[in-house]
Amino acid sequence: MEVTRLVETIKLSLYAVLILALLQPNVAISSEEAKQAKLKETFVHVLEFEENGEPEKIIALLQPMAEDYPNDAYIPFWLFDSYSALGHFEQAEQWLAKAIERSEKLDGSMWALFYLLSGNAEALYAVLEDYRSRETDYSAGVYTQLGITASASGKYEAAKYFFDKSKALTDEPFLNLHYAHALRELGHEQQAAMIIQQREEEMRKLLAEKPEDQHANFVMAELSALAGDGESAAAYLHKAIGVRQPYYVYWSISEASLGDNLWSKVRQQPSMQKFLAEKRKQMLASRAKLAE
């Protein structure tokens, strides 16, 4: 499935790989069967908390276990995500470093996502330039992640470079909306319009069959944002996210100093401001619970 935002890239692809691997009965998470069973049981609760939008509960559950599983990559990865959700970026940075160190599935390009969310423009641009200068070939997924980050931060030429690299590695139609946004900003209006039109046709067909489909509603929010329709973008975001995964949207649209340029035309819309206020209230409530 194509991903159109960084959060979808991470949660729907990387998370899926990590969690499916974790729950396979033949995968050895620990040399001790008892510890393996405990870890599997723990992640059942982690997934429940993630679904309910409760990162503070994930932190409370996993952080005490980190020392008991010093080689495990799943614990620090979820702690990175949960601390990022609450805007505790210093702690998030520490856990991301540990997760990348422990897992071959986590590429260093993930630092670009972290620097985007935490507002560190200098570090983000350094990561993008570093990957552009490397002679090593990476997967389509890595290039797409870098392309989304570059487009979100306004580095459209770099975004096109990464997206073109990703596009060359797949036979599927490349309809990423951050790609369309970058192309449009670079003056490639016709190519961008074709991507937007095809993507909208796909999503409207899907919504006709499944009106509550989370992914389709999220993509429709992106399409509305590209059209400058803040009211529709907020309405689709409500359907797509609800309680689950509210934080990335909050940071990327509102608080992060780099923001996400895909949403630049809808940030000041009253309906979007109301949506962001609700998400800020939810985030602060989670912070307060963590501090108890």
Is 86 a domain residue? yes
Give Cα 111 to chain centroid, integer Å.
12
Indicate the length of the chain as a whole number: 292
How far apart are alpha carbons 51 and 57 in whole angstroms? 12
Give Cα 280 to chain centroid, integer Å.
18
Domain boundary among 106, 136, 158: 106
CA distances (Å), origin 260, targets 104, 132, 155, 225, 263 = 28, 21, 11, 11, 6
- Considering the domain architecture, whether residues 166 and 237 belong to the same structural domain is answered as no
How much is the pLDDT for 32?
61
Is 100 a domain residue? yes
- Considering the domain architecture, whether residues 5 and 83 belong to the same structural domain is answered as yes
- Considering the domain architecture, whether residues 243 and 270 belong to the same structural domain is answered as yes
Is 11 a domain residue? yes
- Considering the domain architecture, whether residues 167 and 93 belong to the same structural domain is answered as no
How far apart are alpha carbons 127 and 292 in whole angstroms? 37
Domain count across the chain? 3
pLDDT tens digits, 139-151? 998 999 999 999 9
pTM: 0.84
Is 123 a domain residue? yes
Give the residue ranges of the chain where pLDDT is below 70. 1-32, 35-36, 242-246, 248, 255-257
- Considering the domain architecture, whether residues 76 and 118 belong to the same structural domain is answered as no
pLDDT tens digits, 93-150? 999 999 999 888 788 899 998 998 888 999 999 999 999 999 899 999 899 999 999 9
- Considering the domain architecture, whether residues 287 and 234 belong to the same structural domain is answered as yes
Is 201 a domain residue? no
- Considering the domain architecture, whether residues 173 and 218 belong to the same structural domain is answered as no
Which residues form the domain of 116?
108-184
Domain boundary among 48, 80, 106: 106
- Considering the domain architecture, whether residues 121 and 95 belong to the same structural domain is answered as no
- Considering the domain architecture, whether residues 113 and 152 belong to the same structural domain is answered as yes
Strands (E) across 120-198 are located at none
Is 277 a domain residue? yes
- Considering the domain architecture, whether residues 144 and 134 belong to the same structural domain is answered as yes
- Considering the domain architecture, whether residues 71 and 126 belong to the same structural domain is answered as no
Domain boundary among 142, 166, 184: 184
